[in-house]
Amino acid sequence: MSSHDLYKIHPVREGFLVNSTPEEDAIVSDHFHYLKDLSEPGVVLLAGRTLNADASSFCIVILTTESEQAAHSIMANDPAVRADVFRAELFPFGIALVGEGLD
């Protein structure tokens, strides 16, 4: 039986969204490709971020996995989390509705 989890990530460094370093850009590129690779088999259902660039900005990743432990492992192995560019929190998540045209 699969479960859904959501991990929420925030940039660790204030000003990251308007003034990232080349090293941070490379890590975020790795983060994007990591999630893209997980979306192809359906593990990542949705990933995205708020479009504001201030300290309230955040990203979410909704996962479908076999367990919360598996979701935690995916979150912990996110390249941007591992590199301390983003801090992450995991939440059990229940999908109540899915609308047309989510793509």
Give Cα separations from 65 to 24, 44, 87 (angstroms). 28, 9, 21
Q: What per-residue string of b and e applies to 36-55 under the rule 16 or more CB within 10 Å gives b?
A: eebeeeebbbebeeeeeeee
Q: What pLDDT, in 10s, does the model give residues 2-51?
A: 789 999 999 999 888 889 999 999 999 999 999 999 999 999 999 999 99
Q: What pLDDT, in 10s, does the model give residues 61-93?
A: 999 999 999 999 999 999 999 999 999 999 999
pTM (whole model) above 0.85: yes
Domains of the chain, by residue range, sit at 3-11+26-54+65-92
Q: Which CATH topology does 3-11+26-54+65-92 take?
A: Alpha-Beta Plaits (3.30.70)
Neighbours of 103 (CB within 10 A): 4
Lateral strand order in the sheet of 59-65: 44-49, 59-65, 3-11, 86-92
